[in-house]
Amino acid sequence: MGTVRMGEIEVSSQAGEELVARGLGSCIGLALIDRRSGVAGMAHIVLPEAPSEADPERGKFADLAVPELISRMEEAGAAVRRLDAVLAGGARMFELGDMDIGARNAAAVKEGLERSGVSVRATDTGGNRGRTMRVTVGEFRVRVKEAGGQITTLFDADGGGQPESGRSAR
Amino acid sequence: MTPRYTELQLDALRELANIASGNAATSLSQMLAREVDLSVPRVLALPLADAVDACGGPDDDITGVVIPLDGDIEGVVLLLISLEGAETLCRLLGVDPQSDIGESALREIGNLLGTSCLNALAAMTGLDLEPRPPHLTTDMLGAIVSSLALTQTAPAELVLVLDSELAVAGEPCSISFVLLPTDGAVSDLLKPLGLAETTA
């Protein structure tokens, strides 16, 4: 329950429910939080841009998934101007090929957020390790665990937008 | 477009995977001087998220040896070894799993298994297949499999997973042997067997 698989989008206002994106490699976990209205959402984004073909999966591609997640948050009662965005993932797991899909994913997600006027509060992207990202509705704390590492708090909505741990908020 | 494979094509791929992993099992058995059991391979054509789930828990830590293919077709061979399995392999070879030598031993096992698998595929299909130097990583399973699949496959398409389990008899060690070919590579594997894709 609560697992947001690749290409999926989940939005919840049920306090205590946990949204988790597991095993993020080059994928991006994007958490959006509106503390005031008690809504949190998560997208597990796979690639930067949708192909031109008809009917692509909206949750899979940054250019479609970011606006989709925002509009699902609004439907659940959130206000765009109050949204806090947190990103994790976008690693380059292997030095294979020329494309750094992880970095392109991170850039595309940030661009989409900027276009919609949503502030990025904290990020933990890049590097070459996998990550799992989780947010608990009602607590509005975003925690990230890197492969082989400890769980750290990347963002705490109660903490005035500053991450608790030593991780950088960009 | 999403490629669809016929039952006959999937059977042929399963047979290729069976012979290839059988060859790999023989090599591993000779290297370790132990019996190695081999499961019947699975051939799965799945959307990416399901393909990852089919390989195991997305955030389970696992050791992966990645062998990129060179030559007539593109793709990667991936060995997934449980952390316990990796320690067992090192112990059977008499090296410290935490050391550089342990890492290099695992990479060498990857090389050996990858090469013997490719030799079998090359012999059956007449294709020129060479392994490139292996990458070794211990990380989350989902991160490994999804990131690799994304370097191989166009986004809208199904991921083809050919996998089988090698188990070292009497030891807590199983290795999951996964072949992730590109779509072009699948046709190239099937063509010499007279089963090139006819449906789209």
The answer to whether residue A58 neighbours chain B at the CB level (below 8 Å) is no
Quick check: is A169 in a domain? no
Quick check: is A129 in a domain? yes
Each residue's pLDDT tens digit, A52-103 = 877 888 999 999 999 999 999 999 999 999 999 999 999 999 887 767 899 9
pLDDT greater than 90 at residue B63: yes
Rg of chain A over Cα atoms, rounded to whole angstroms, equals: 15
Q: What is the pTM of this model?
A: 0.88
In angstroms, the CA A123 to CA A93 distance is 18
| Cβ <8 Å between B140 and A101 | no
Are B132 and B69 contacting, i.e. CB atoms less than 8 angstroms apart?
Answer: yes
pLDDT greater than 90 at residue B61: yes
Quick check: is A166 in a domain? no
pLDDT at B200: 42
pLDDT at A1: 53
Q: Which of B52, B147, B182 to mutate to test the interface with A (most CBs of A within 10 A)?
A: B147
More confident call, B192 vs A89? A89
| Cβ <8 Å between B146 and A26 | yes
Q: Which of B48, B59, B67, B69 to mutate to test the interface with A (most CBs of A within 10 A)?
A: B59
Classify residue A138 by burial, with Cβ atoms within 10 Å: 0-12, 13-18, 19+.
Answer: middle
Helix axes B83-93, B100-125, angle to 10 degrees: 100
pLDDT at A83: 97
Structural domain containing residue A132: 9-159
With beta carbons under 8 A apart, name residues in chain A contacting B139: 25, 93, 129-130, 147-148
For B51-91, where are the E strands, in sequence order? 61-71, 75-81
| CATH at A100 | 3.30.1330.200
The answer to whether residue A26 neighbours chain B at the CB level (below 8 Å) is yes
How many domains is chain A partitioned into structurally?
Answer: 1
Average pLDDT, integer, range A16-44: 97
The answer to whether residue B155 neighbours chain A at the CB level (below 8 Å) is yes
More confident call, A95 vs A135? A135
Q: Among A26-40, A101-115, B132-146, B167-181, whose mean pLDDT is lowest?
A: B167-181
Average pLDDT, integer, range B68-87: 87
Quick check: is A24 in a domain? yes
Highest mean pLDDT among A140-149, B105-114, B168-177: A140-149
The answer to whether residue B70 neighbours chain A at the CB level (below 8 Å) is no
Average pLDDT, integer, range A117-142: 96
Best CA proximity match to B145, nearest among B79, B83, B69:
B79
pLDDT at A153: 96
Quick check: is A64 in a domain? yes
| Residue B169: other Cβ atoms inside 10 A | 11
Each residue's pLDDT tens digit, B17-54 = 888 889 989 999 999 999 999 888 888 888 888 988 98
Quick check: is A167 in a domain? no
Q: What is the set of active-site residues of A?
A: 27
Architecture of domain B7-191 in this structure = 3-Layer(aba) Sandwich (3.40)
pLDDT greater than 80 at residue A170: no
**Partner-chain residue, chosen from A24, A53, A97, that has the shortest CB–CB distance to B143:** A24
3-class secondary structure, B66: strand
Measured CA to CA in angstroms, residue A42 lies from A65, A66, A135, B41, B47 at distances of 10, 10, 8, 35, 20
Quick check: is A170 in a domain? no
